């Protein structure tokens, strides 16, 4: 067997194995998809705690009427940064972490397609997260612009806003690079015999999500760049006095913002589509329809953006179109929910922690979808716009949707990652506490919104006091519960009962990697010619 001409002999690849960096430098320079996946997950959890503390500042202030703990300006900074950090710092990196860990294993690839770019796309995140947090301490802070950064406020704030714009740019670069990597890996590095329609659904959902990211992240970059120009370079994109229009920003932002909701939700669908069949002990019902439904959701997500803007004075014909288009998204989403329930039907179900979180996801995400359907109706939304009903709706989708499925994913895959089983009893406790406190926090917010309590305000009328008290107690309970999750994960990493080769024994579809042989090109050593 001769080596390919022009290539070093295969044995040379291992000459420097003992010179690999260790300690901190190993993590800085690593190109291993598992290392990078782990770093994404730890980073996202750190940002989750930072964003969570900000949420608790908000809930502490709202525990009772009157100003207690923080100044209104600081309260507004908390609402802004809590949103930005949770979306860009916690949820998105978490799912990219799962993608990095699992996709190469699921499709039989040796690693991600662009290993060094993979390293870079992670290491852009810590500086961006730092910039976001630092914006609080700059003159003018991160002001009350909300995570949407609406002008004219965002064009008039201090230097903190420039920090946030810069952070958003860097986060967008990271997301785009990660997505290019995921698409290339899935399309080019599948094991022989694995067609696209044989891939695990998690790979499908990430393939679709990655295309969404590449399509909309530049739109967000354009929107914040226009704000930057309005702030410093004398343009008037969003300044009516100079011929611009502040509502233009809302159109550009939500053209990014609505697909962004699905960038967060679709990988969660993928996780749940892996877990439910495993613990039902039967294949996923309607695999092809799941792929088509997910694609439909992704496409429809581009044509419904202005349902966030019913109150901006758009023509009635426009309102009507966006209302119907938004309702249409309920159809493929309903298909997915039907398929998950049909997978459960007559399965031999067991209720380990991953399954509990998936069922929690199924129930609460559906509820969040229903409140979204309510808000899609223009006449209703005009009344509920910018009230706590909207806050309740999107937290049911983001927390009960994305976060619960992420917890499920960690419990499902951590035996594979560490070789140890986590503490099942504690994990179930984590689920039940999370479920109860989550509903305590956000269910009552539907009533607050229906009664007319506006969001993003630090003080409120006496009539809202009871529900706010319940909501704040729930929020602190939910926050403390996540420390239990941290304890479970660290305990599992340090050791625990040894995990079996197939930890969820006998569960169909639980092969960690594909049965087909690994591709001949491992990208470690040059391929040899027989």
The string of DSSP letters for 234-254 reads ---SS-GGGT--HHHHHHHHH
Catalytic residue of the set 82, 282, 385, 420: 82
Paired tokens of 16: 């420097």
**Is residue 412 flagged as an active site residue?**
no
Q: Which residue is listed with tokens 């049965």?
A: 515
Is the Cβ–Cβ distance between 354 and 279 less than 8 Å? yes
Find the distance separating the first CA and the last CA of the chain, reported in whole Å.
Answer: 5
Catalytic residue of the set 174, 179, 185, 301: 174
Catalytic residue of the set 40, 204, 249, 262: 262
**Is residue 498 flagged as an active site residue?**
no
Catalytic residue of the set 190, 282, 336, 385: 336
Is the Cβ–Cβ distance between 279 and 355 less than 8 Å? yes
457's CB contacts (< 8 A; 6+ apart) are: none
DSSP 164: H
**Is residue 516 flagged as an active site residue?**
no
Exposure of 390 in the CB half-sphere (CA atoms within 13 A): 19
Catalytic residue of the set 38, 142, 154, 175: 175
**Is residue 420 flagged as an active site residue?**
no
**Is residue 262 flagged as an active site residue?**
yes
**Is residue 423 flagged as an active site residue?**
no
- CA distances, 362 to each of 30, 208, 347 (Å): 36, 21, 16
**Is residue 301 flagged as an active site residue?**
no
Is the Cβ–Cβ distance between 290 and 284 less than 8 Å? yes
Is the Cβ–Cβ distance between 366 and 398 less than 8 Å? no
Catalytic residue of the set 121, 179, 333, 471: 333
The rounded Cα 246 to chain-centroid distance in angstroms is 28
* Distance of alpha carbon 419 from alpha carbon 173, whole angstroms: 34
**Is residue 521 flagged as an active site residue?**
no
466's CB contacts (< 8 A; 6+ apart) are: none
* Distance of alpha carbon 219 from alpha carbon 252, whole angstroms: 7
**Is residue 121 flagged as an active site residue?**
no
DSSP 398: I
Paired tokens of 48: 């989750």
Q: In angstroms, what is the C-alpha Rg of the chain?
A: 24
**Is residue 389 flagged as an active site residue?**
no
Catalytic residue of the set 61, 111, 162, 381: 111
**Is residue 174 flagged as an active site residue?**
yes
Catalytic residue of the set 198, 251, 455, 491: 455
**Is residue 260 flagged as an active site residue?**
yes
**Is residue 258 flagged as an active site residue?**
yes
Catalytic residue of the set 33, 169, 190, 307: 307
Catalytic residue of the set 258, 282, 430, 446: 258
**Is residue 393 flagged as an active site residue?**
no
Phi, psi dihedral angles at 513 (to 5 degrees): -120, 170
* Helix (H), strand (E) at residue 141: none
Catalytic residue of the set 121, 273, 343, 472: 273
Q: CA-CA-CA-CA torsion for 155, 161, 166, 171, nearest 10 degrees?
A: -110
* Distance of alpha carbon 27 from alpha carbon 126, whole angstroms: 13
Q: Which residue is listed with tokens 């290392």?
A: 35
**Cis, peptide link before residue 152, omega less than 30° from 0:** yes
Catalytic positions, written as ranges: 82, 111, 147, 174-175, 258, 260, 262, 273, 307-308, 333, 336, 455
């Amino acid at each position: 067997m001769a080596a390919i001409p022009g290539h070093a002999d295969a044995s040379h690849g291992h000459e420097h194995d003992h010179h690999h960096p260790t300690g901190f430098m190993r993590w800085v320079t690593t190109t291993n998809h598992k290392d990078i996946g782990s770093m994404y997950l730890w980073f996202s959890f750190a940002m989750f705690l930072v964003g969570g503390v900000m949420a608790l500042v908000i809930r502490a202030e709202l525990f009772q009427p009157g100003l207690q703990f923080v100044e209104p300006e600081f309260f507004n900074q908390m609402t802004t940064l809590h949103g930005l950090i949770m979306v860009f710092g916690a949820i998105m990196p978490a799912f990219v972490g799962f993608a990095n860990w699992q996709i190469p294993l699921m499709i039989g690839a040796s690693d991600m397609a662009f290993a060094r770019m993979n390293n870079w796309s992670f290491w852009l995140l810590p500086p961006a997260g730092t910039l976001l947090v630092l914006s609080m301490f700059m003159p003018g802070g991160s002001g009350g612009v909300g995570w949407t950064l609406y002008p004219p406020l965002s064009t008039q704030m201090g230097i903190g806003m420039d920090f946030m714009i810069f952070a958003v740019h860097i986060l967008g670069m990271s997301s785009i690079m990660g997505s290019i990597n995921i698409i290339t890996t899935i399309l080019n590095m599948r094991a022989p015999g694995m067609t696209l329609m044989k891939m695990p659904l998690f790979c499908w959902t990430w393939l679709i999500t990655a295309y969404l990211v590449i399509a909309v992240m530049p739109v967000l970059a354009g929107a914040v760049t226009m704000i930057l120009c309005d702030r410093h370079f004398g343009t008037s994109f969003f300044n009516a006095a100079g011929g611009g229009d502040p509502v233009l920003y809302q159109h550009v932002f939500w053209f990014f913002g609505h697909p962004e909701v699905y960038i967060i939700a679709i990988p969660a669908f993928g996780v749940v589509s892996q877990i439910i069949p495993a613990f039902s002990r039967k294949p996923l019902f309607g695999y092809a329809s799941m792929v088509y439904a997910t694609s439909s959701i992704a496409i429809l997500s581009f044509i419904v953006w202005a349902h966030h803007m019913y109150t901006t004075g758009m023509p009635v014909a426009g309102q009507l179109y966006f209302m119907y288009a938004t309702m249409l998204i309920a159809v493929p989403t309903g298909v997915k929910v039907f398929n998950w329930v049909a997978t459960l039907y007559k399965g031999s179900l067991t209720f380990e922690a991953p399954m509990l979180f998936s069922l929690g996801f199924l129930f609460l995400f559906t509820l969040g979808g229903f409140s979204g359907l309510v808000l899609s109706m223009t006449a209703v939304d005009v009344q509920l716009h910018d009230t706590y009903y909207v806050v309740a709706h999107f937290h049911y989708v983001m927390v009960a949707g994305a976060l619960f499925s992420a917890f499920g994913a960690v419990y499902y895959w951590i035996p594979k990652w560490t070789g140890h089983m986590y503490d099942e009893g504690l994990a179930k406790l984590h689920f039940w506490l999370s479920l109860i406190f989550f509903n305590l926090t956000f269910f009552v917010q539907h009533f607050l919104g229906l009664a007319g309590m506006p969001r993003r305000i630090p003080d409120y009328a006496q009539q809202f006091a009871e529900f706010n008290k319940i909501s704040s107690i729930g929020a602190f309970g939910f926050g403390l519960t996540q420390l239990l999750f941290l304890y479970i994960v660290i305990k599992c990493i340090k050791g625990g009962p040894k995990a079996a080769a197939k930890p969820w024994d006998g569960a169909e579809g639980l092969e960690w990697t594909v049965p087909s042989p690994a591709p001949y090109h491992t990208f470690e050593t040059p391929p040899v010619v027989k």
